[in-house]
Amino acid sequence: MFLLQNYSANTSLQADFYIQSKGNNAGKPMKEPSANCFLVLTDSSVLLPEYFYYVVLAVYNSGLFKKYLTGSVIPFLTQKDFHKALEAYFMK
């Protein structure tokens, strides 16, 4: 359905959108990449990229990602915790 990878400026992959991975805005979907983000690739035959963008935005706006942030100085969201948060959002 979707692939989540750490973003690197050297990557040749064209992502559907990006997700902030560090800081207080971790989990926030973005149209443009930043230094600390995940890139999201979707299989558009199964999951429309724009739809998934707004699903992630809804989870972010609900504040659920804050529960999964780790780190004492700079909070961050791991890929595993991103998946857990999405699952928790849809299981409630």
pTM to 2 decimal places: 0.92
Instruction: Say if residue 92's pLDDT is above 80.
Output: no
Residue 76 near residue 26, CB atoms below 8 Å: yes
What is the bridge-based pairing of β-strands 2-6 and 17-20?
unpaired
What is the model's pLDDT at position 13? 84
Paired strand residues for 19: 29, 38
Task: Find, among 41, 33, 46, 29, the residue nearest to 85 by Cα.
Answer: 29
Average pLDDT over residues 28-51: 95
Reported confidence tier of residue 4, pLDDT bands at 50, 70, 90: very high
Model confidence at 27, pLDDT cuts 50, 70, 90, reads very high
Distance CA 15, CA 40 (A): 6
Average pLDDT, the chain: 94
